[in-house]
Amino acid sequence: MTYTSTLIGYPYIGEDREWKKALEAFWRNELSEEDFEERLKKIRLSRIDKQLQLDIDMVTIGDFTYYDRMLDTALMFGLIPKRFNWQGGKVDLPTYYSVARGNKTAVASEMTKWFNTNYHYIVPEYEGQALQLTENKVLADFLEAKEAYGIIAKPTLIGPYTFCKLTKGYSKFTQVEYLLALLPLYTQVLKELVEAGANWIQLEEPSLVTTLDAAEIKLVQEIYDQLAVAVPEAKIMLQTYFEALCAYETLISLPVQGFGLDFVHGYKGNMASLRQYGFPQDKVLAIGVVNGRDIWRSNLAEVNATIQAIEHLSNAAELWIQPSSNLQHVPITTALENEIDPVLKHALAFADEKIVEIIELTTCRRDKEGTLQHNFSESMKAIEALKNHPIRQNKMVHQTVQTVTTQDFERHSEFTQRQKLQQQALALPLFPTTTIGSFPQSDEVKRNRNAWRKKQLSNEAYEAFIEQETKRWITIQEELDIDVLVHGEFERTDMVEYFGEKLTGFAFTEKAWVVSYGSRCVKPPIIYGDVAWASPITVIESAYAQSLTMRFVKGMLTGPVTILNWSFVRDDLSRKDVAYQIALALRKEVEALEKAGISIIQVDEPALREGLPLRKEEWGAYLDWAVNSFKLATSSVKDETQIHTHMCYCEFNDFIEPISALDADVISIETSRSHGELISSLQVNPYTKGIGLGVYDIHSPRVPSDEEMLTIMRDSLQVLDRHQFWVNPDCGLKTRKETETVAALANMVAATKTLRQEVQQSISR
């Protein structure tokens, strides 16, 4: 048997976020286009150099991006919405970034989650436009690697079925038309890669692990039958990840030369399929055996045993040994982490360390005579040391989780009763205005926080600065005439990290960055121990802000499921148990806020949906404990205390029921880029509690007019009772500039006042 080490993809961010810094400097006009291109080329080549240094057999290219790979694919095929006035030809950078971020005259394309990860992609839009190959970007990357290093790399691109499936704008009647336009372009890309010398071409098809019906399976077969006829000389590795391949017995016979299967997240299903159906002897099997989505060291002895089992069941002639997914979901290297617990560090494996594991496993499988030393025991010792760490031995936390009952998930009264009491207690106007929580974090805010963290600024001086900034923004909100205020969150870096720093069981890194969307990077906390509440987290700041105004100020917390889903989570407990630990800790914080006189408390769950299993038939078990985690954190308050929550971009058509099950009094939803779709959904699936449909997109620097927002509000009233409807931006404002924030909020309030007048006039008639 032949063994080859390879990757599905490698992080493009750079060890010190060089990629992010280059993008943002270019957007600020601090870099010329020529200098920008040169910087990105340097980063792109450094990734190839890293793979070669670590001794990967088959280097992967085409996984680099200027913003997002789905966007790259769309623009490569001329799939550019008409509102951007593109005239054809190669897509220039202003057009590229306008589609991603919007411009003064056109809103950005929609953004949503990449399957069940915390990465967001730009949704391609099909408007019936004539498609064309504007530039074969994958070919350019292939030739660049060939010229720079003399290698024949493996090009990768999003596969045609997944790309089609994730495109919006076509109907079941126009899907065939869309595919007929798309497939010749894929054919051209493949032909040009083959002519340039590509031995293998990886087509990523994660949509094939979702639940597929008979028509969808037939469509996949037709797509790959056509590609096989059009480019018979192309050797295609059809790569899946995040779950087991759906309809294995049928799809495994597709006319491709290799299949990539996930034996981490899809272990159970893929092993069962191998056991029942075997594997085609004329195909190469690429096995994802090292977890590409977590940061824990592999037990190499166990993984080696898994590979042996796969060999036995598949009887494949050639195996590619690789991570379970693109490594963009993990940080780059543990080598830069010098401050964390040594026991924890020894048990970690980021992208580079995972590559080392892949190399070690590949070497082991080649060593049939056992002549080499394989250091499997070291990984076992590291895992065992962490298992016995005192931070995982909090008996009180474990006992409390085990004694949770159904009563702990329920508010005292039903929503209709709470609503009446809250209307009396809060006396808010029709269409209350508010924001999601955070305000712009200026350079001054960042400088002061950095100085404080480096102990260059005293606690007293830093706290005084935070109070000053909070007071300034309370005044700004009052002058804007916003109804429900927030303190601005100037003391917080990241909405998960901030809470993790105050709870037990968390660890934090120095350079462990991953991309969330665009150039937005986060450092997910590491939950490696038992989680418990130690002391009030947000009470001082919230109570101070409330003391400055007669208007209500919301308390602002991050919910338990979002903290879970936006962290790297210990793998020795179930995710449900960890979520309940976090929820019980936050429950104490909610109670502390209420005791301090905070009448409106927002517990954000923007990541609730992304934890969903990819198979719908498995949603129920996850939603049961995820919804209960939110309720466990929020249910102990009195009826008059109003609980809010917030959610980010996602498809809500099939998610209204779980949202309602949260039993939050008010939910704000990030939908400005897909507002019409949510309106249609609410017509079919009415929502009865308070809801704020984000009236403008905060991810774009453009300032929408009051008339633009008013149109969204009027549309919303077609499906919402006026007493339900809150008005707010669609997400937090931390990343925006102050001038654009104030201007946009002024327009939002003006639009709300116009709507109130219209409704009052309508009532009086």
Spatial contact of 58 and 103, defined as CB atoms under 8 Å apart: no
520 has binding-site annotation: yes
| Separation of alpha carbons 541 and 591, rounded Å | 15
pLDDT in tens, 210-264: 999 999 999 999 999 999 999 999 999 999 999 999 999 999 999 999 999 999 9
User: How would you classify the pairing of strands 120-122 and 2-5?
Assistant: unpaired
Report pLDDT for 713. 92
Report pLDDT for 305. 95
364 has binding-site annotation: no
pLDDT band at 672; cut points 50, 70, 90: low
Going from the C-alpha of 94 to that of each of 29, 97, 102, 205, 518, the distances in angstroms are 12, 5, 10, 29, 15
Report pLDDT for 676. 66
pLDDT at 678 > cutoff 80:
no
- Diameter of the chain by CA atoms? 91
Spatial contact of 698 and 435, defined as CB atoms under 8 Å apart: no
Report pLDDT for 656. 81
378 has binding-site annotation: no
Q: DSSP state, 486? A: -
412 has binding-site annotation: no
pTM of the model: 0.90
159 has binding-site annotation: no
pLDDT at 365 > cutoff 60:
yes
Q: What is the mean pLDDT of residues 43-72?
A: 97
Q: What is the mean pLDDT of residues 663-675?
A: 81
329 has binding-site annotation: no
pLDDT band at 87; cut points 50, 70, 90: very high
670 has binding-site annotation: yes
pLDDT band at 158; cut points 50, 70, 90: very high
Report pLDDT for 12. 98
Q: What is the mean pLDDT of residues 151-177?
A: 94
Query: Tokens at residue 359, please?
Result: 């190399």
| Separation of alpha carbons 298 and 376, rounded Å | 9
pLDDT at 652 > cutoff 70:
no
Residue 602 backbone phi and psi in degrees, to 5: -105, 125
**Nearest Cα to 607, choosing from 572, 639, 569, 571?**
569
Q: What is the mean pLDDT of residues 354-378?
A: 88
Core vs surface per residue 337-349: b (16+ CB within 10 A) or e: beebeeebbbbbb
Of the chain, the end-to-end C-alpha distance in Å amounts to: 82
- Residue whose token pair is 């979520």: 579
646 has binding-site annotation: yes
Q: What is the mean pLDDT of residues 49-69?
A: 97
pLDDT at 715 > cutoff 70:
yes
pLDDT at 368 > cutoff 80:
no
Spatial contact of 481 and 748, defined as CB atoms under 8 Å apart: no
Report pLDDT for 649. 55
| Separation of alpha carbons 238 and 245, rounded Å | 11
Distance of CA 475 to the CA centre of its chain: 34
Spatial contact of 211 and 615, defined as CB atoms under 8 Å apart: yes
Chain-wide mean pLDDT for the chain?
A: 94
| Separation of alpha carbons 641 and 644, rounded Å | 10
246 has binding-site annotation: no
17 has binding-site annotation: yes
Query: What are the residues facing 158 on neighbouring strands?
Result: 204
Q: Spot the catalytic one: 120, 329, 675, 699.
A: 699
**Nearest Cα to 155, choosing from 44, 236, 232, 229?**
236
Distance of CA 687 to the CA centre of its chain: 26
**Nearest Cα to 562, choosing from 651, 663, 489, 645?**
645
pLDDT in tens, 457-484: 999 999 999 999 999 999 999 999 999 9
pLDDT in tens, 547-581: 999 999 999 999 999 999 999 999 999 999 999 99
pLDDT in tens, 609-643: 888 899 988 999 999 999 999 999 999 999 999 99
| Separation of alpha carbons 446 and 493, rounded Å | 9
User: How would you classify the pairing of strands 514-517 and 568-569?
Assistant: unpaired
pLDDT at 651 > cutoff 60:
no
566 has binding-site annotation: yes
Report pLDDT for 681. 76
Annotated active-site residue 699? The verdict is yes
266 has binding-site annotation: no
Q: What is the mean pLDDT of residues 338-354?
A: 97
Residue 675 backbone phi and psi in degrees, to 5: -60, -45
Question: If you count them, how many residues does the chain have?
Answer: 765
650 has binding-site annotation: no
Domains and CATH numbers, the chain: 2-79+112-387 (3.20.20.210), 389-415+492-622 (3.20.20.210), 428-485+670-765 (3.20.20.210)
